Structure 1
Amino acid sequence: MLTLVDTNNEVAYVTPDDEAERQAEVDHYQILDTLPEEEFESLVELAAIITGSPISLMNILDHDRQWSKAVFGDESGQSILRSESVCQYTIMKDENFEIEDLSKDERFMNMSYVEGNPKYRSYSGYPLITPEGYRVGALCVLDTKPKKLDESQKKSLKTLANEIMARLELRSKQRQLERLNKEKDLFLRAVNHDIKSPINGIISSAHYLQNLWDGEKEELFEILSMIEISGHKLINYTSELMSNAMFQSDSKLHLDNVAIDELIKDLIHIYTPLAKSKNVDLKLNCNTPVSFRLDNEKFKLILSNLVSNALKFSTKGDTIIINADISSKSTRELRCSVTDTGIGIPEEFLPTLFEKNKNHQRQGTQGEISTGIGLPLVKQFVELHKGSIRVNSKKGQGTTFNVSIPEHKEMQ
């Protein structure tokens, strides 16, 4: 389908239906207005040689202009209005676009490059197509006399256009890799800093107890408390790191028959020492005597995040209740809830609570760290199970998370 775009003070030009996405891909490759480069100029020259054409160009179609990255045999400039270009039609389809005589085509017969110098007559171009199928530009050849390319020449033009696109894609991947390496370096520095601190505290305290301490029980209690707090910080931090890594990865379910009651009891056992250290009461109401088919590790992470969050934002005298039961409908459903009487969630957080948002990063009641990734990950894994999650919270009065997951009968 041809769509005419009015450029206000210029002739309209045609655009494909996916123009917005196409333009985003143009911007993604970061090729516009860059300096000439031998690797592209050599391919453009080869296109001219193979097709017996005096002129060849590698063109990128921007918002309202055509910009030439590489040019052979034409000194007229690197940029023209998109409304004046022939390549605007080349990017409309995934095939060769050819005009035997531009002077006889009403779309181009009055263009300056046809009426005046260099008096172009023939044009043949093939689109530069991204792996996602967007046409960001074209490789084209022109001549000052009317002509048509034979099938072998058209095939060669297509091959060279694909090679140009492959090199653009390789550059994009290289930039992405460089960016990831920079992020990795920053990440490792942060990890190094954040993990060293509690580890050094544990090591120095242990050394002191083993070799130097001979004081009162009160001092011993303070040292042991510091070791305990440092250990909890390490647990919280490594949990956040694991959650972040899992959030970034592509996920699929690995289904198994899971004993839900045992899984939850094991999880509660892990968090009991932390609950005791904060003087928080953990209660469990579990009515899941039969196995249930789901992804064991992902469900464990769902529940672990919810319990960890409840503990993080609870304080002395608070209570956390974990409820779980399996409905007896035709399609069985696991229903779990985690309720706490802690500090609650600010009302302004609730609309975007399950989105990755730096503004959601809050310290726990004892300074526990948070990256804001836990709840988005929980939602991702719940929805991967075709389930749902709801939250009710009031600041200063506590929070309840309700999770429902249908049973998966088929293995994935």
Structure 2
Amino acid sequence: MITPSRPDNEGQRLAALQSLLILDTPPEERFNQIVEFAAREFKVPIALITLLDTDRQWFKANIGLGTTCQTSRDISFCGHTILRSEIMVVPDAHLDVRFHDNPLVTGYPHIRFYAGAPLVLSTGYALGSLCIIDTVPRDPATIDLAMLSTLRHLVMRELEPKADAA
């Protein structure tokens, strides 16, 4: 397993995340609807909106992981996702050196397929991801990455403060 590195702007990224005042807030229908739609549309058992705090990956919205509301950031797939500008796709985690022995792959929830769209503020700070997960390998050609990107933009519209709201 390869632990995700931290972005060069980690301090500013965390400050931007904290300024949203969203960590550890109760579930909200506006975010739940997005992950419910993603799970249904992509026919996956798990869909999440994740936010990466200092040492944890916290789930703002969660379909398929029951009452689990966070994992360690060190084992998160999304920790790798925020280091990219494009959607990260892992067709089979068992075959990927970054994840093959990750406890989220070898144990519950038995991740095999992952696609994560980074959630990036207009200031450029990546907060987390909108991701879809399956317990079987998937051919990335069958995933409509444009739709996942559109759903990501819906999440960001809800997360990012409106500049003209003042």
What TM-score does the superposition give when structure 1 sets the normalisation length?
0.38
1:98 to 89, 92, 115: 89
Alignment of 1:332-347 (within 5 A): none
The answer (yes or no) to whether the contact 1:47–1:141 under 8 Å persists in 2 is yes
Other-structure match for 2:11: 20
C-alpha deviation, 1:107, in angstroms: 2.2
The answer (yes or no) to whether the contact 1:53–1:143 under 8 Å persists in 2 is yes
Other-structure match for 1:45: 36
Other-structure match for 2:153: 162
Superposed CA RMSD in Å reads 1.9
CA distance 1:31–1:148, change in 2 (3 Å): farther
Alignment of 1:356-367 (within 5 A): none
Q: Which structure 2 residue ranges, 5 or more long, are not aligned?
A: none
Distance 1:149 1:76 in 2: 29
Alignment of 1:13-412 (within 5 A): 13-75=4-66, 77-150=68-141, 153-169=144-160, 172-173=161-162, 177=166
Distance 1:99 1:19 in 2: 24
**SS of structure 2 residue aligned to 1:165:** helix
AA paired with 2:149? K
C-alpha deviation, 1:12, in angstroms: 4.9
The answer (yes or no) to whether the contact 1:129–1:162 under 8 Å persists in 2 is no
Distance 1:166 1:82 in 2: 25
AA paired with 1:109? H
**SS of structure 2 residue aligned to 1:75:** coil
The answer (yes or no) to whether the contact 2:111–2:135 under 8 Å persists in 1 is yes
C-alpha deviation, 1:155, in angstroms: 0.8
Distance 1:151 1:158 in 2: 15
AA paired with 1:42? Q
C-alpha deviation, 1:13, in angstroms: 3.5
AA paired with 1:125? G
Distance 1:47 1:20 in 2: 31
C-alpha deviation, 1:111, in angstroms: 2.3
Give the structure with the higher percent helix.
Answer: 1
The answer (yes or no) to whether the contact 1:102–1:122 under 8 Å persists in 2 is yes
Percentage identity across aligned positions?
38
The answer (yes or no) to whether the contact 1:50–1:156 under 8 Å persists in 2 is no
CA distance 1:37–1:108, change in 2 (3 Å): same
The answer (yes or no) to whether the contact 2:49–2:59 under 8 Å persists in 1 is yes
Count residues with an aligned counterpart.
164
CA distance 1:19–1:151, change in 2 (3 Å): farther
C-alpha deviation, 1:95, in angstroms: 0.4
What TM-score does the superposition give when structure 2 sets the normalisation length?
0.91
Q: Quick one: higher RCO (CA 8 Å, sep 6+), 1 or 2?
A: 2
The answer (yes or no) to whether the contact 1:51–1:149 under 8 Å persists in 2 is no
Extract structure 1 runs of 4+ deviating beyond 4 A.
none
The answer (yes or no) to whether the contact 1:98–1:148 under 8 Å persists in 2 is no
Distance 1:76 1:82 in 2: 18
The answer (yes or no) to whether the contact 2:75–2:104 under 8 Å persists in 1 is no
C-alpha deviation, 1:57, in angstroms: 0.3
Q: Which structure 1 residue ranges, 5 or more long, are not aligned?
A: 1-10, 178-412
Distance 1:12 1:116 in 2: 17
C-alpha deviation, 1:152, in angstroms: 6.1
